[in-house]
Amino acid sequence: MYSKSSLGLLSATPSNWFMNSIAFWTFVLLGCMCIGGYFMFRKFLKVLPKADGKSKLDWQNYWVERSRPLWSDEMKAFLDQLVQPVPSPFRDIAKHSIAAEIGKIAVESHAPEVTREHCIRGYIVATPRRDNRFLISFLEKNGIDYSPYQHLIK
């Protein structure tokens, strides 16, 4: 009735390639969920209030809004140049946190406007320590003198 070749298609056990593909996609999806969960958890920690009642994001928004009138178009373009090495999916977030640090430095120094020195200092302070090697190479590549702020680079 049935030939030997048609019985292979009707067997009750799945083939090896099918089971291997299920295992592969399980690990890929599990890995993606772990990576996404890590970034969501980091964002969650930034939203938690600190001892003063404001979160890190609240302070960043405060300094950006407080320093908004101090920014000139030239300094905004310079900030765009500074965040250029950041990968594009993270560039807006990095730009906001660097702008907050620059704004904090400018406002606390009672400056009438944000200057290039404020931008360089804020960029160095806002850059995580693990990225200092890339920071130095980027500044040197663009001919930006960071020697007055060498003490800020750890």
CB 115 within 8 A of CB 75: yes
| Per-residue pLDDT at 142 | 86
Nearest Cα to Cα of residue 113 among 74, 57, 62, 77 = 74
Q: Is the pLDDT of residue 29 over 90?
A: yes
Look at the pTM and tell me if it is higher than 0.85: no
The domain locations on the chain are 15-48, 56-152
How buried is residue 19: exposed, middle or buried, by Cβ count under 10 Å (0-12/13-18/19+)? exposed
Per residue in 124-136, pLDDT tens? Answer: 999 888 888 888 8
Per residue in 104-118, pLDDT tens? Answer: 999 999 999 999 999
